[in-house]
Amino acid sequence: MTKPILRLLGALALLALAACTPGGKVPQDGPRSPGAADGNAQAATGTVTAAARPSPAARTASEFDTTTRAQKAAAAAPPSTGERRIGTTIASLGDPSQPGFWIKTPLVQSEADGRIVNPANGRSAKVRLIPLAGPASAGSQVSLPALQLIGVSLTDLAGIEVYGN
């Protein structure tokens, strides 16, 4: 009986932390792809897609996930270029109101295209790598559709591998 309650409390704590931003600033836009003109545009490289912002009334994971089947298929496609392994990180759910496929991680110093892999099942997702302040040993925040694509529960703290192009 206490385990489901603890999981729920953990998930609520993660959502509360994900909503926090440094300096009290509220981001106006989610992660953007280079050259993207609007929230439904595809990156110039074609590897990372952004989706429309969810409705302010969104309350469930399916309501927050505004990515299309085509965007999910593109993100799940095998890599077309050489990648280098950047490292391993503990991933938690990032801000579910920020659309698209992305990871905020201290493993990178500048935004770039990349991929995350769930070593437990081998599933991967092409994502936008976004720098996150903190030591390299700190955890990372991952978008809701990216976590779902690699088969990680939204309430888990999962070890994932990060690759850069």
DSSP assignment of the chain equals -HHHHHHHHHHHHHHHHHH--GGGPPPSS----TT--STT-B-TTSS-B--PPPPTT--SHHHH----HHHHHHHHSPPSS--EEEEEEEEEE--TTS-SSEEEETT-SS-EEEEEE-TTT--EEEEEEEE-SS-TTS-EEE-HHHHHHTT--TT--EEEEEEE-
Tell me the pTM.
0.67
2-25+38-164 under CATH 2.40.50.1070, yes or no: no
Do the beta carbons of residue 94 and residue 138 sit within 8 Å? Answer: no
Give the confidence band of 7 by pLDDT, cuts at 50, 70, 90.
low
| pLDDT for the residue numbered 161 | 97
The pLDDT-based confidence of 8 (bands split at 50, 70, 90) is low
* Model pLDDT for residues 96-149, shown as the tens digit of each residue: 999 999 999 999 999 999 999 999 999 999 999 999 999 988 999 999 999 999
Would you kindly state where each structural domain of the chain is located, as residue ranges? 2-25+38-164
Which comes out higher in pLDDT, residue 50 or 26? Answer: 50
Q: Using one digit for the tens of pLDDT, what is the confidence trace for 37-94?
A: 333 333 333 445 567 787 788 788 888 887 888 888 888 888 777 899 999 999 999 9
Q: In the numeric block, which tokens belong to residue 165?
A: 């192009």
